[in-house]
């Protein structure tokens, strides 16, 4: 128990450190004394650009990592993240539709069209996958995983078709969206989607105990009084809404949902009462820290944060596969 609390304190400290480092790192040097002066450019840059970006990084990273922990608990498989069940691909397809066809469809002219359309795509595909996995009143999680793989292939092919017909500007926008970035952060964006970002913090205490029982097996969970069908439905909808919100706002940021739950699980074990909240804290801290690095490494330009998370996460994923092969 002492080890768990020490690790939670460490993750909280790391998230605070990441937020502070991200506050003062960037193309413009900002001193903490500038924050108390309302008329300076530095204070305006901090309060209007960096602070909403930091908060967005903390909440998006936390939500993606939390969704990964839920997906791994649902499938009882450590090599699963929301990207494998097609939700991320659904977001990407609808974002591509908004970017490529936005100039010819009237209601896609708005600057919010990519965000809203991508969010709708993520939620819609989570329902589609859920529908294909449902048979005779029972949801088969392995059918859900296979359906997600098929949906991934369909979405990637459709995005390829849209890319073929896109012009140069649309291709550039599509590529930038796929690389992920926190550059679009603003107070209005945070205000509009804050309810989805705090959702994990609100529901975690109510599903943690059920997940602890569910990982023993569906039959065992049913015998212990858990309604597994309701639990699976709630979890897939939570993943769809949470990932759909994040990806629609910041683009495709991979491997946070895969790597962070593993790190936390190795440190404090499988108890979801601690795993979910710790994963949220560490995921937020890691994405915020990665964004700070991406902003300073070639300043004043910046590297899309999705590239950094992929470069760090892909080797971690390969090491997991290697470790799993040796353990079987």
DSSP string, 248-295: HHH----SHHHHHHHHHHHHH-S-HHHHHHHHHHHHHHHHHHHHHHHH
User: Residue 80: helix, strand or coil by DSSP?
Assistant: coil
Neighbours of 158 (CB within 10 A): 16
Supply angle C-alpha 285, 291, 295, rounded to 5: 145
- The pLDDT of 158-170, averaged and rounded, is 84
The domain of 35 spans: 1-326
Distance CA 92, CA 95 (A): 5
CB 204 within 8 A of CB 277: yes
**R_g of the chain, CA atoms, integer Å:** 20
Residues 68-127: tens digit of each pLDDT: 898 888 877 777 777 777 788 888 888 888 888 776 666 555 656 777 777 788 778 877
* Model confidence at 230: pLDDT above 80: yes
* Model confidence at 280: pLDDT above 90: yes
- CATH number, domain at 19? 1.10.3470.10
Percentage of the residues of the chain whose pLDDT score is greater than 70 = 90
User: Which tops the pLDDT comparison, 197 or 288?
Assistant: 288
Q: The whole model's pTM is what?
A: 0.86
Average pLDDT, the chain: 81
User: Residue 134: helix, strand or coil by DSSP?
Assistant: strand
Structural domains in the chain (count): 1
């Amino acid at each position: 128990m002492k080890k768990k609390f020490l690790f939670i304190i460490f993750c909280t400290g790391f998230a605070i450190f990441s937020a502070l480092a991200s506050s003062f790192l960037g193309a413009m040097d900002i001193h903490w004394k500038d924050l108390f002066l309302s008329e300076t450019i530095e204070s305006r840059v901090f309060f209007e650009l960096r602070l909403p970006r930091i908060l967005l990084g903390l909440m998006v990273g936390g939500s993606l990592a939390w969704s990964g922990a839920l997906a791994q608990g649902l499938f009882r498989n450590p090599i699963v993240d929301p990207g494998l069940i097609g939700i991320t691909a659904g977001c990407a397809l609808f974002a591509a539709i908004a970017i490529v066809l936005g100039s010819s469809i009237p209601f896609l002219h708005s600057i919010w069209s990519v965000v809203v359309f991508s969010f709708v795509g993520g939620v819609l595909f989570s329902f589609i996958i859920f529908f294909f996995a449902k048979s005779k009143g029972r949801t088969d999680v392995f059918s859900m995983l296979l359906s997600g793989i098929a949906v991934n292939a369909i979405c990637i092919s459709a995005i390829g078709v849209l890319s073929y017909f896109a012009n140069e500007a649309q291709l550039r926008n599509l590529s930038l969206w796929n690389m992920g970035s926190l550059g679009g952060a603003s107070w209005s964006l945070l205000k509009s989607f804050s309810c989805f970002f705090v959702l994990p913090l609100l529901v975690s205490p109510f599903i943690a105990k059920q997940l602890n029982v569910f990982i023993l097996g569906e039959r065992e969970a049913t015998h212990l009084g858990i309604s597994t069908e309701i639990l699976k439905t709630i979890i897939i909808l939570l993943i769809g809404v949470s990932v759909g919100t994040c990806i629609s706002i910041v683009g495709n940021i991979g491997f946070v949902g895969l790597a962070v739950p593993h790190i936390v699980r190795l440190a404090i074990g499988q108890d979801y009462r601690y795993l979910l909240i710790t994963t949220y804290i560490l995921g937020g801290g890691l994405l915020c820290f990665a964004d700070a690095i991406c902003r300073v490494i070639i300043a004043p330009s910046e590297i899309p944060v999705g590239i950094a998370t992929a470069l760090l996460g892909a080797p971690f994923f390969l090491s997991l596969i290697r470790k799993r092969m040796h353990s079987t």
